[in-house]
Structure 1
């Protein structure tokens, strides 16, 4: 195989549009490793309309080459691509962890995988094997199964088993574990406040579980472990040796987006360094490259081989492992669109005295979502309005006095996403408590401290089904 085809074979770029451009189809035919689909590649519509469009898009790609890798971030919950326009039909990891039913986690993963397989996707960049180790983490949160390494590891393994049982490769991410970071690696380079021994005892537990479950790929995080040197794991040979030798992983190692700020510098240089370190597939999805950009990357990798910086054998190994993720999945009849709401209901946790007087007043305190989540619909107002006629939905800019004036004796439902990380939202809830309103706090992120409300509902996620489940519970508490 030519060097240029080998170099193309390790690239997994993103692209613009809901159909494949001609230049991309030619690249696929000439050996491009694959693509990663994002929300920008999916039309907003019903599930049937979305899935039909994605299926047609993937048929274009597989028409150019049958074994092209087609990847997607379909974690479920807050991070969804197929349901980007309406919110996920399944709860995310934290909700599944809260439900505490490994069989349910396996079923949800198999349902997601069956839907992806029917659409022609061969690789799902999920599950997140990260742990919740600090409430100040800005990017993982409810994408994690929880804080307990053993319990989270069991759910990671169940998710991997469910996904791969229907023929879609799973990907445990973000090695060595993002949960202790207080920095979003999309924006800057996190240095983990963890020793190598701490990582081995805690963060590695879910990754070991994934490896033992036969996970076919692992994604590296752009995370610095001081004992391993100054390079983030994606560019760090020592990190990759730990993954291979200590954890025993033999599948494909995929980078997190190489265009993220945490890697920085020249994209071609970062690509070569990742390959030299031991990575197999290069994810390039955040800022899509055009044909000239891909040509530049391929030429840069080829030049690295010709100069002796990157051994040809290393590139051949990487291309071989990447190609193994492109096996077209067989369409299986395992997708259950009703399963997600069942799981979301099981995940709900209610504290305090949940009683609703009259038609409630809803205040959705929307905050900017992380880049990984994107602009997915969020908020309880539409769901509660549907279930309880007369519900009033206030703008998030409403002051405490304005809320009190509208409430006039009715129950106020204030909805947050990790209020503990947003002082303005926390302060507003506290002000409403001081006024003495009948107040229900619905938290859709990782549960933080109690803010003193009459009742508290933790959904463990902001997906469509988590919000629907919360609305059902609140509507049923009407007096």
Structure 2
């Protein structure tokens, strides 16, 4: 019963959060999904990966294409959400418009997963503090954690992970690994550290705390710190060299990868000494993530709608952006800003056409779909009871 131990570890941490001066997450309510280990054990013989490959092999190209899209529609209506997910998307991201007035998103998350098996991924940006979708998250966030002992980051993100999982959400886009040295940077208040080493320590702690319960995400690779500007409205750029990056901005990402992060989110950032294109569309940066950092999980784009909002004509078409990102090496294509109920389906259709035309190699789509499917399988299990587990070994 490894998943029960994982849930209990987080619950045990949450119960002991008196030092945080925040209310503890209730641990006796049923979760809508089980908390499961992020990767198969050695005894499992890689069974999840093999099962994922089998499922993807049975899919049509169109089904594979839909499975690598994470879409969004701004509603809390269960019927509309269930209908939307019947298109076969691999995931859905919850935004503010998906959170009911009472803050309880369980009906929303249940509606999202009724139409598919294995269950699609349900994600959220729950950094805490400045970026927080769940009102019940009153735990310390980056604004204070960057100046507190590393143990405070571990405790806060353990509590945050329990809250996220208890809401029926299994992916948290919540760990900001950027290193903004300039306090005027828009990302400064969201970063866990203002220098590479302190950021790395807290990023690793946040990752380790979340991974037994939810799939954690490092963002925004290769790092906002060196590239001034807000990628929601432009393409921030820097002339920082690859060697300079390795010694600075790369450090927290490497720490998070080593700590076992399940996802790596690529930012729309141009490191022009490496590639003139934004990292999210750059084969070079995808190779660096895989080969240098050794990241073997799911690479997800930042919201592709942000590229369209940049005002750069070359990035005006979200379908073309998605096809380029997939070809470059991204596995999961996130689309929010400017999307309609049809946009995610159009992206899936565009990917299908690109594969059939040979613009995107078929094995690239298969690889992406298999990585996403493996993560989905890790989260498809019976419901877990969020209770203390007396027979489990102590936390730490």
Give the TM-score normalised by the residue count of structure 1: 0.64
Gaps of 5+ in 1: 336-479
Matched with 1:161 is: 208
Give the Cα separation in 2 of the matches to 1:186 and 1:334: 40
Paired residues of 2:141 and 2:156 also in contact (CA < 8 A): no
Change (3 A) 1:265 1:193: same
Change (3 A) 1:297 1:232: same
Larger radius of gyration: 1
Give the Cα separation in 2 of the matches to 1:65 and 1:308: 29
> Runs (4+) of structure 1 moved beyond 6 Å?
none
1:56 and 2:56 aligned: no
* 2:125 aligned residue (46, 58, 73): 73
Matched with 1:97 is: 146
Give the Cα separation in 2 of the matches to 1:183 and 1:69: 30
Higher RCO (CA-CA < 8 Å; seq separation 6+):
2
| RMSD between aligned residues | 1.9
Paired residues of 2:85 and 2:115 also in contact (CA < 8 A): yes
State the 1:255 CA deviation: 0.3
Matched with 1:325 is: 375
Matched with 1:435 is: none
Matched with 1:287 is: 338
1:316 and 2:371 aligned: no
State the 1:180 CA deviation: 2.4
Gaps of 5+ in 2: 1-58, 389-396
1:173 and 2:223 aligned: no
1:137 and 2:185 aligned: yes
Counterpart secondary structure, 2:236: coil
Matched with 1:297 is: 347
Encode CA deviations 1:300-349: one digit per residue, 9 max, x unaligned. Answer: 111100111101110111112122333147646489xxxxxxxxxxxxxx
Give the Cα separation in 2 of the matches to 1:58 and 1:27: 13
Encode CA deviations 1:224-277: one digit per residue, 9 max, x unaligned. Answer: 011222100000000000010000000000000101024732111100000000
Paired residues of 1:94 and 1:146 also in contact (CA < 8 A): no
Paired residues of 1:121 and 1:328 also in contact (CA < 8 A): no
Counterpart secondary structure, 2:220: strand
Give the Cα separation in 2 of the matches to 1:161 and 1:202: 22
Give the Cα separation in 1 of the matches to 2:79 and 2:182: 43
Q: How many aligned residue pairs are there?
A: 321
Matched with 2:295 is: 249
Paired residues of 1:95 and 1:142 also in contact (CA < 8 A): no
Give the Cα separation in 2 of the matches to 1:33 and 1:156: 27
Matched with 2:4 is: none
State the 1:92 CA deviation: 1.6
Give the Cα separation in 1 of the matches to 2:120 and 2:206: 24
Give the Cα separation in 1 of the matches to 2:325 and 2:371: 15
Q: How does 1:37-436 map to 2 (within 5 A)?
A: 37-45=94-102, 50-51=103-104, 54-66=105-117, 67-83=119-135, 88-100=137-149, 102-138=150-186, 140-166=187-213, 168-260=214-306, 261-262=309-310, 264-290=315-341, 292-326=342-376, 327-328=379-380, 331=384, 333=386
Give the Cα separation in 2 of the matches to 1:31 and 1:312: 19
Matched with 2:92 is: 35
